[in-house]
Amino acid sequence: MSLLLTGASGFVGSALIGPLSNIDLVRCATRNPNFSTSFPSQLVLLNSPINGLTNWTEALQSVKVVIHCAGITHVTESSSQLALSDYRRVNTQDTLRLATLAAAHGVKRFIFLSSIKVNGDFTHPRKPFTPFDLPKPRDPYGISKLEAEQGLFRIAEETGMEVVIIRPPLVYGPNVKANFLSMVKILSNSIPLPFGCIRNLRSLVALDNLIDLILKCVAHPAAANQIFLVSDDEDLSTVELLRRMGCALGKPARLLPVPISCLTFLASIFGKHKLLQNACLSLQVDISKTRELLEWHPVVSVDEGLRQVARNFLIEK
């Protein structure tokens, strides 16, 4: 059984290649001409931007499972200025074109790495997101992922190709980028942070745990045409995350008890609303369905996941 992995040079994709190579031949699709891997695999270099016109024909030859990780993945203060049409072109249109071609080539199962942002941006106390909730995406990224999911289920109904949707929250692990890396850098330099008054709960997922779930979904019969949420199954407040990440780095977090009203005022001045939202609001997910239907459980703890981040950061520093 050959597998096609898209986004092979990305944060999640590159970590998948080794484990997938233990299952069968993995074909890696990427636009990065400098990408290489030491694991047994075939590289397919895409010579055009990923959009609704991408030529996937070569990549799909003799493939039975597609794991689609390619897309616009990080929504930051700067990338949030992208138009909905930009997200749709990559995250929606190309996903659906790839899935349509995959079904025509006889692909049995299509695994789509979506996002918890399909559910929404935050949760209320003791009301975590579930896969059964009515989706309420609040930004172009989440909307584009939801539209891709809806289109994939239509394709599955029309063609019989099985679809698996995975909606992760924030993913962290070795070589993590964006805001999580910024947090690690700040903690490693013992810079005080004004988050001592925050009392929230957020679900995260270690890269190893996400990879393990994806591998489970490759062949598990109960995964067909299902939506799964994933996390480390231990929710942390921002304060607890900072303290435990600081402990992993050997640099105790220095947290100042700044009132949230002051943080809100400062965020409005400096245009950091999304950063403050991520730091202050809760976002919890319920992985009961994932545990029970797939008999899956996280393979690493939060603390082990954070230690992996710290070890990699200190080596690369």
Q: CA–CA separation, 117 vs 111, rounded Å? A: 18
Instruction: Give the neighbor-by-neighbor strand order of the sheet with 63-68.
Output: 42-45, 26-30, 2-6, 63-68, 109-113, 162-167, 226-229
Decide if 95 contacts 147 (C-beta within 8 A): no
Residue 256 tokens read as: 């100042």
The one catalytic residue in 11, 87, 110, 141 is 141
Pairwise CA distance, residues 6 & 29, whole Å:
5
As given in the structure block, the two tokens for residue 143 are: 């909307």
Which residue bears the tokens 């690493």?
300
SS3 readout for 31-47: CCCCCCCCCCCEEEECC
Burial (CB count <10 Å: 0-12, 13-18, 19+), residue 130: middle
141 catalytically annotated: yes
Q: Are strands 42-45 and 26-30 parallel, antiparallel or unpaired?
A: parallel
Catalytic residue IDs: 141
